[in-house]
Amino acid sequence: MKNIHIIDDTLDAMADLVIENGLIQRIDILDGTPDPSQPVYLPAFTDLHAHFRDPGLTYKEDVESGSRAAVRGGYTAVNLMPNTLPVVSSVEQARDVEDRIAQLDLIQANQVVSMTLNEHGQDCSHLRSIPAGSIPFVSDDGKGVNRDDVMEEIFNICKEKDFLIMAHEEDARYSPQDLRMAENAMTFRDLQLCEKAGGSIHFCHVSTIEAITAIAEAKAKGLRVSCEVCPHHIFFNAEQANYYRVAPPFRNDADIAALIKGMQDGTVDAISTDHAPHTPEDKANGANGISGIETAFSLCYTKLVRGGFLTINQLVKLMSTTPSAMMRVAKGSFKVGMRADFVKVDLTTPYVIRSEEFASRGKNTPFEGQQVYGRVLETIKAGKTVYKA
C-alpha cells in the first residue's frame, strides 16, 4: 500500500505499508502533509458488544447478515452477547457460533458465555466447569443479576479463572418505575462487590451521569473496572430520539455531557455498538434495540470529532485500539506485526443514513435521514478486502 494517509491512536501521517501473510511487515512514514480531502485509513474497528441473534432468532439476524453488516460498518472483530435461543451457556455452544462465522472469512468473532445458566439469574455453577483462561468474557447481557449472593459468587469464580464480567446493569425491581434508578442501583452494588471480592468488571452501555461518576471514582481507587458507551447514547437525547426504545434508554443532555467527559478523561475505555437488530413487528411490539453497527463510526465521528470533543486519534483508541486489546486481538494500530485490518473512510463528504441500505436484517434505527460524516469506503481484514462501497 503506497502513499496512503494513516491514522491510529498515535499516528497521523502519510505512509507506505508492506503487508505479507495478513500482517503489517513494514511501515515507512513519508514526508509531506496529508491532503484532508482524501480518504484515510484507520485500524478496523472492534465491537465489544453486539447481537447477531444466532442461534434461534435468525429472523432478526444471523451470522452471515451480521458479519456483512459489521464489515460494512468498518468492523473486523466482534464480541457477541449470549442472549440467543438457546442461551449460550457453554464453551461448545460458543465455539459453534465462532466456527460458523470463521467459515465466512469476513470477521473474527468471540461468542460470550452467559454468567448464569440460561440467563435465569439463579445459578452460575456452569462457570466452574469452564477451564481457566479459555474464554475472555462472561455476561448476562439483556438482564441484570438481581441476586446479590449469585453475583458475588460470579465475581469469585471469574477472579479465579480470569474471566472478565460484562455487566448489563439493570435492577429489575426498579425497571417498571425508574430505569435510571435501575441502572444506578445495580452499578453501585457491583462496584461494592468488585471491591469486596476482587476480580474485574466491565460495565456495558453506561448511560447515566451517576453511573459514570461512580465508575470514575472506582477507577481512582484502583479497582479493576472498565466501561463502554454506545454511539446512540451520545448522539441523541431522549427527546431528539423521539423516545425510541433502547435498554438503557436515551438520557438527557447532562448525561451525554458526562459520558463525553468520561471519554475525554479516560474513564470510558471503549465505544461499543450494542447492535441489536429487530424486525419491524418486534419493534412495534416494544422490543428494545438499535441496528447500530453500520452507523457507529459515522455517528461518533460526526458528534465527537467534528463536534470538537475528541481528536480522531482518541476516537480510534476508543473504537479500535483498546477494544482490540480487551478482546485479545492483535489489531487496532499501525504497528509492525499487527494484523493488517484497516478501514478506508471518507471524512469530508456528508451522507444521509438510509436503513434500506443496511446489510443487517435489522433496519431499526432512530437515525433514518440523519446527515453524518465518515462513510466507510472499504474494509480490509488480514490484507484482504472484505467490503467495498
CA distance 227 to 202: 5
Catalytic pick among 9, 54, 141, 274:
274
Instruction: Phi first, then psi: give them for residue 114, nearest 5 degrees.
Output: -65, 150
Contact 303, 38 (CB under 8 A): no
In terms of C-beta distances under 8 Å and separation of at least 24 residues, what long-range contacts does 19-24 make, across chains too? Answer: 19/340, 19/383, 20/383, 21/383, 22/339, 22/340, 22/382, 22/383, 22/384, 23/337, 23/338, 23/339, 23/340, 23/382, 23/383, 24/334, 24/335, 24/336, 24/337, 24/338, 24/339, 24/340
Q: Per DSSP, which regions of 129-184 are E strands?
A: 137-139, 164-167
Q: Is the distance from CB of 46 to CB of 36 less than 8 angstroms?
A: no
Q: Which of 236, 254, 199 is nearest to 368 (CA)?
A: 236
User: Any catalytic annotation for residue 274?
Assistant: yes
Cα–Cα nearest to 112, from 82, 86, 87, 134: 82
Strands, E assignment, 168-283: 201-203, 225-229, 270-271
Assess contact for 322 and 269: CB atoms under 8 A.
yes
Radius of gyration of the chain (CA): 20
The C-alpha atoms of residue 42 and residue 7 are separated, in whole angstroms, by 5
Decide: helix, strand or coil at residue 388.
Answer: strand
Of 142, 192, 148, 149, residue with least CA distance to 169: 142
Contacts of 178 (CB under 8 A, 6+ apart): none
Tell me the CA end-to-end span of the chain in Å, nearest whole number: 19
CA 180 to the chain's CA centroid: 21
- Residues labelled catalytic: 274
